[in-house]
Amino acid sequence: MDTLRAVNDRVYIHEFIDIIGHNRVNYMHHMTANWSPIAQDERGQLCYGVWAVIGTTRGWPQVVNLWEEQGFKGLAASLDHECNNPQVQDPKLVKWWAEAANYRRRGEDRVLVPAPWTRTIGELTAEGVRGDVYAHEQYQMPQGTSSAFLDAVRDEGVDAHSTFGWELVGAWETAMVNESECFLLWAVPTFAAWGDFETAQRSDPVLARWRARTYELTTHQHRFLLVDAPLSPMRIGRQPSRADREPGWEDL
């Protein structure tokens, strides 16, 4: 990794969202074209990414959202903006929430702290980082060891994946859970490159060493695949805007 890169001082909201029926595309548009411009203007919150989960590799139908906040200070201000009223909901967003309820059943959120060397979404879009598919990895480890795992990812894991064209997009530890969970996100150039990587798991010596290293450091891992929403920032190279809204959404 580039040791000269500025330290990432942001925090992130990670969301697993269960979708109702055939509404995945509607929900992803609602989040990118309708929610994100509001969040940018009113809260300084950026859309890091919205992805469809490939159901063959995890539960379905699901979406993953990831939002970038201006550190814990920014997140605290955003939560105060949302919750400091009798409804515990921004009154201006009542119609937006009602529309979202048509598309999603439930969600499971986490607050993530990035490894200091992880790029922000502004850096990623400026550098043109994108995959045809993304590999999302969720790790559990003994309490108090998440930072040590992220150090190993930087020092050993990145090189093990780069042979197959995989680029590390983000590396985070989950806040508020005793330093026992981490998430990684890899941009994979093609589905074929993902297939080559999985095929080589037990034949490539570098990958075998990295896998053994993860067994030493962690207690559980789940790797699954994601595909960009049409207006996800790494797909379009920028933040989604009001101009991206489809007709009929303007008044939400």
Which tens digits make up the pLDDT trace of 109-121?
Answer: 999 999 999 999 9
Q: Where do the DSSP E strands lie in the chain?
A: 11-19, 46-53, 62-69, 104-114, 133-140, 167-174, 181-188, 220-228
Percent of the chain topping pLDDT 70: 96
pLDDT of residue 1: 52
What residue ranges of the chain are covered by domains with CATH 3.30.70.100?
Answer: 8-111, 115-226
Taking residues 115-134, report their average pLDDT.
98
pLDDT of residue 111: 98
The pLDDT tens digits of the residues spanning 132-190 come to 999 999 999 999 999 999 999 999 999 999 999 999 999 999 999 999 999 999 999 99
Q: Name the residue among 207, 192, 113 with its Cα closest to residue 157.
A: 207
- Please tell me the distance from the alpha carbon of residue 38 to that of residue 42, in angstroms, as a whole number: 6
pLDDT of residue 170: 98
pLDDT of residue 188: 98
CATH class for the region spanning 115-226: alpha beta
Q: Name the residue among 126, 149, 169, 190 with its Cα closest to residue 1.
A: 169
Q: pLDDT averaged over the chain? A: 93
- Looking at 3.30.70.100, 3.60.21.10, 3.40.47.10, 1.25.10.10, the CATH number of the domain 8-111 comes to 3.30.70.100
pTM, rounded to two decimals: 0.93
Cβ(93)–Cβ(38) under 8 Å? Answer: yes
Could you tell me the pLDDT band of residue 251, with boundaries at 50, 70 and 90?
Answer: low
Q: Looking at per-residue confidence, does 4 or 174 come out higher?
A: 174
pLDDT of 249 > 80? The answer is no
The pLDDT tens digits of the residues spanning 76-102 come to 998 988 888 777 777 767 888 888 999
pLDDT of 5 > 70? The answer is no
pLDDT of 3 > 50? The answer is no
The pLDDT tens digits of the residues spanning 200-224 come to 998 999 999 999 999 999 999 999 9
Q: Name the residue among 136, 146, 218 with its Cα closest to residue 175.
A: 146
